[in-house]
Amino acid sequence: MTTAPALKEAPTFDNRQDFADELIQLARTNERIVAVCNDSVGSSNLNKFRDEFPDRLINVGIAEQNMVGVSAGLANAGLIPFVCAAGPFLTGRSLEQIKADVAYSQHNVILCGMSPGMAYGELGPTHHSVEDFSWLRALPGLDIVVPADGDQTRAAIRNAVANPRPTYIRVGRFKVPKVSDHDPSFERGKFVVAREGSDMTIIAAGTEVSRALWAAASLEADGISARVLNATYLSPLDEAAITAAARETRAIVTAEEANVAGGLGAAVASIVGQLEDEARVPLRILGLKDFAPTGSTQYLLEHFGLEAEDIANAARGALNRD
């Protein structure tokens, strides 16, 4: 595990590269793997896959509903389709097909939301994928996976091939440092303990995990021991880890590059709110509550209070019940 202070100087990586490399390696030994996209070969980083497996890349054009429907048919025929498209268009335009053809029908389609969150920066709200958690968490039978770095992205792809099931994976574009072991454990429905702590807990997803670790280091300087949980799965949800955080620490902060209505924070709140009174610790939920203005991804993270110091301040406030 990379230490939190070292993360500040650590190199950062585009998870789409790890996604593409792992997908190609797996496809070389498994002929059932195919890729389906919506005229997004370049932005989904599928150029090398197309060159090596020209007959196993299906480009439906800008027709996301057809893309998901075709993929359900491919899965029904015994193939393992990885459906690659920008997160907002994959989840927004084809939500009905994801509901009916994938989740309800239990077809083993791997939905890959490329460049999620606010990774498209200056392209604005139409290209931000910040509602995906809210929309998809409402669908029974659909796994939601949020890798925090390239190694976890590779692990998620391997798991999807080894145990195919209806799955949505966020494949990050905004560069992040490595926060996991080279061969990370990646158990379905389980959070990863990124840092132990006894005073309070930070539960973060995706791009926010490295920032949560930086925040924990800042809190440590104040004598506050912060546990950091990497929320690799939003569905199934690790209710046991959330319950343990509430019972073993004195406050919880959640951080997500997503809308807070129905996302990670809401999921945590639904668990904590049902606990016995003595376990209902203060909870602070960090994320988006409005459409994002135009600006770089870094600017937007700062604008919405999703940087490390924002997380640390929320933790201090929760502990002090401010």
CATH class of 192-319: alpha beta
Measure Cα distances from 183 to 1, 186, 195, 217, 306 in Å: 11, 9, 17, 24, 28
Q: What averages of pLDDT result for each successive group of 10 residues across the chain (322 residues)?
A: 58 93 98 96 94 97 97 98 97 97 98 96 94 97 97 96 97 93 79 96 98 97 97 98 97 98 97 92 97 94 97 96 62
Model's pTM, two decimal places? 0.95
Residue 45 and residue 19 in contact, taking contact as beta carbons nearer than 8 Å: yes
Decide: helix, strand or coil at residue 160: helix
CATH no., domain 14-171: 3.40.50.970
The full set of domain ranges for the chain reads 14-171, 192-319
Sign of the four-CA dihedral 173, 177, 183, 185 = negative
Chain segment 250-305, per-residue pLDDT in tens: 999 999 999 999 999 999 999 999 999 888 999 999 999 999 999 999 999 999 99
Give dist(CA 301, CA 54) in Å, integer.
Answer: 38
Chain segment 103-140, per-residue pLDDT in tens: 999 999 999 999 999 999 999 999 999 999 999 999 99
Nearest to 177 by CA among 207, 219, 153, 145: 207
